[in-house]
Amino acid sequence: MTRTNTHIKNDAIDALEKIRILTEAALCLTENKTERSAQAEMIGIVQDLATRVLEANQ
């Protein structure tokens, strides 16, 4: 199955929306050590997601 440019663009937009939501949530996690740990984990997920999108669009 060949992916069209529209599908690729929609996947990229979907990934950016996920990045936005995850970073927004991560910014709120500063209350204690457990939240800061979750914040670091979410930032790692964001980084992984962004890397995948960039690699897929090369």
For the segment 9-52, what is each residue's pLDDT rounded down to a tens digit?
888 888 889 888 988 998 898 899 999 999 999 899 989 988 88
> Which of 43, 42, 51, 49 minimizes the C-alpha distance to 14?
49
- pLDDT for the residue 1: 57
Q: Give the start-to-end residue ranges of the domains of the chain.
A: 5-18+30-56
Q: CB of 8 within 8 A of CB of 56?
A: yes
What is the pLDDT, as a whole number, of residue 38? 92
Q: Is the predicted pLDDT of residue 57 greater than 60, yes or no?
A: yes
Looking at residue 55, what is its pLDDT? 84
